Structure 1
Amino acid sequence: MSEKIIVVAGETVHLLAQKALYWPAAHMLVIADIHFGKAASFRAAGVPVPRGTTSQNLAALDALMALHDIRHIMFLGDFLHARAAHASATVAAMLAWRQRHPHLQLTLVRGNHDRHAGDPAASLQIEMVDEPFAMAPFAFCHHPDIATAGYALAGHIHPSYRLATRFDSLRLPCFVVGPQRLILPSFGAFTGGFLIAPAAGDAIYVSSGEAVHLVR
C-alpha cells in the first residue's frame, strides 16, 4: 500500500492508506475513532448487524505494526462506542491482543463516546488523558475545534470527500490538513463518514484503501 509523506509543524508524518497517521520520529501510530464495540452496541439494541468488527480492528492494527516501527499508539478518542462495548467477548478479544503486545505504549485521549462508555478495562493498560494532550509540537485531541498551543491532530468528524465526474461520484475517507490542525479519518470498521466542505487553506488527501491521493 502506498502512503503520502508530508511535513506539518516541522515534523515528517506519513498519511497511511489504512486511515491512520505514522509519526516516525516518535515511533507513534495515531488512530482516530476506532469505536470498539459499535456493532455489539447495535446488536444489543436489536439491530441485526455483522459480527467481527472488533477482530477486524485488531487485525488492522497488527497489519500496521508489521509494516512500521511502532512503539506507541495514540488513540484520538472514541475508543469505545458505548457501554455495550464492555461486553465480555469484546473485552476478551482486546485483552488477548494486548497480551500479544505487552511492551506497546497505549494512550487514549478521551472523546465524547468514551465519556458515555466509560474508560476501557484497566487490564488493557491504556494511559487515559484529556484533550488537548501536548507532545511537542503536537496537541493530540478528539475534537478538531478546541484551542491548542500546538498543531492539533484530531478526529471526531469521520471526514470523507466526494470525487465526481460528469457521470459518477465516489465518496472516500480523507485526511484534512490545515494550517493549524490535521483531522484524521475514522479508523474503525463499521463507522461511516461525514462529507466535509474544506475550509480555505485545507488540503484534502483521500484514501482508496490502497493508496493516498492529494485531491485538493
Structure 2
Amino acid sequence: MTVAGSVAIEVGGERLELLPQRAVYWARESLLAIADIHFGKAAAFRSFGIPVPRGTTSENLDALDALVDATGAHHVLFLGDFLHARAAHAAGTQAAMLAWRRRRCDLILTLVRGNHDRHAGDPAAVLGIDLVDEPYTVGSFSFCHHPDVDAPGYVLAGHVHPVYVLATRFDALRLPCFIVGMRRMILPSFGSFTGGHAMRPDEGDRIFVTSGEAVHSVR
C-alpha cells in the first residue's frame, strides 16, 4: 500500500517507501522501520523538575497507530532508543504502552537496542517485543541504531535525528530528513519530543526532507 506523500526509492536491491511520518516501509516484508521514538523522554525531564508538556506518549502511540493503519504493516521494527531513560518505566507510561499493545496484539514488534535502551533497561516483557542487538540483518538489509556499524547488508539506522536546513536570504526552515547513501540510510527521529541535528551530508548522499505531509528530494 502506498502512503500519500511518500517517495519510493531502491536501495539494497529492494524497493522502500520513505514516509512523510518519518518512517520507512518495506512492502515486500510488510515491515515498518521507525527510529528513535524515545518513549518517556518528557517524563524524564519532569523527573528533574523541568516543566514540559504531558501527553507525548499518547501522541507517539496515536502516530504509530495511524501509520500501521495506513501501511497495513504486520511488523514494526524500532531502530533503537525505544525508551529514553529509566523514567520511561513510570506507571503511567507503561500503562499507556500496554493498553496500546493489547489493541495491537497481532503486530510483530522488534527492537534493535540503542544507547538509550541500554541505560533505560529493556521494555517490559509483557509488551511482547523481540529484543536484538545491531546489526540485525533481514534479507539485504541490516537494521541498526548507529549508522556507522560494520554490517553485512545495506544499513538502515537512526541515532542522529537528522534535519536539513532550507534557507533563503531572509529565513530558514529545519525539516526532518532521510539521508540516503550508497551503503546506509539514516532515518529521522519518529518521536514527538526528540529534536533534531542539522547534518552535513557526505558526497553522494541523497537528501529527502519531510514536511509531515509529503517527502521531497532536495539533493
How many percent of aligned residue pairs carry the same amino acid? Answer: 65
Aligned to 1:140: 143
Aligned to 1:79: 82
1:210 and 2:213 matched: yes
Q: Deviation of residue 168 (structure 1)? A: 1.2
Aligned to 2:204: 201
Counterpart-to-counterpart distance in 2, 1:13 and 1:124: 27
Aligned to 1:188: 191
Aligned to 2:43: 40
1:70 and 2:46 matched: no
Deviation track 1:143-178 (CA, whole Å, cap 9, x = no partner) reads 000111100000000000000112111010000000
Q: Deviation of residue 38 (structure 1)? A: 0.2
Structure 1 unmatched runs, 5+ = none
Local SS of the residue matching 1:182: strand
Local SS of the residue matching 1:81: coil
Counterpart-to-counterpart distance in 2, 1:23 and 1:110: 20
1:165 and 2:168 matched: yes
Q: Deviation of residue 103 (structure 1)? A: 1.2
Task: State the AA in 1 paired with 2:148.
Answer: D
Query: Which of 102, 105, 109 pairs up with 1:106?
Result: 109
1:16 and 2:19 matched: yes
Deviation track 1:149-208 (CA, whole Å, cap 9, x = no partner) reads 100000000000000112111010000000000000000011000000000010000001
Alignment RMSD: 0.6
Q: Deviation of residue 15 (structure 1)? A: 0.3
User: Paired residues, what number?
Assistant: 216
Q: Which runs of 4+ in 1 moved over 3 A?
A: none
Counterpart-to-counterpart distance in 2, 1:122 and 1:154: 24
Counterpart-to-counterpart distance in 2, 1:168 and 1:47: 30
Aligned to 1:115: 118
Counterpart-to-counterpart distance in 1, 2:20 and 2:79: 18
Counterpart-to-counterpart distance in 1, 2:69 and 2:154: 28
Scaled by the length of structure 1, what TM-score is found? 0.99
Counterpart-to-counterpart distance in 1, 2:37 and 2:151: 23
Local SS of the residue matching 2:177: strand
Aligned to 2:181: 178
Structure 2 unmatched runs, 5+ = none
1:57 and 2:60 matched: yes
Q: Deviation of residue 56 (structure 1)? A: 0.4
Q: Deviation of residue 68 (structure 1)? A: 1.0
Query: Which of 99, 113, 128 pairs up with 1:125?
Result: 128
Counterpart-to-counterpart distance in 1, 2:146 and 2:137: 14
Q: Deviation of residue 64 (structure 1)? A: 0.7
Query: Which of 94, 102, 107 pairs up with 1:91?
Result: 94
Aligned to 2:157: 154
